[in-house]
Structure 1
Amino acid sequence: MATIRLRNTDAWITEEEEVRAFLSSQGVYYEHWDLSSLTPEQSNSFLLSDSDKEKILSALTPQIEKLAKERGYVKWDVIALSSQTPSLDELLKKFEQVHTHTEDEVRAIVAGSGIFIIKGSADVGYFDVNLRAGDVISVPEYNPHFFTLTDERAVVAVRLFIDPAGWVAHPFEDASFTKA
Structure 2
Amino acid sequence: MMYIPAFDPFAACYRMLRILEHMGCAGPVEVDRLRMFDYYLAFPARVYAIHLRRDESGFRNLRRRYVPRQANPYQAVVSDRRLFERMRPYQMAALRRLAACGVVSPDRLARGEVRVASQSRLSQLTCATGPLPVAGRNVIAWLCHCFRTTPLGGEYGLKYRTQLMEYKYDGQ
Q: When the two structures are superposed, what TM-score results if normalisation uses the length of structure 1?
A: 0.25
**Structure with the higher fraction of residues in strand conformation:** 1
**Structure with the higher fraction of residues in helix conformation:** 2
Q: When the two structures are superposed, what TM-score results if normalisation uses the length of structure 2?
A: 0.26
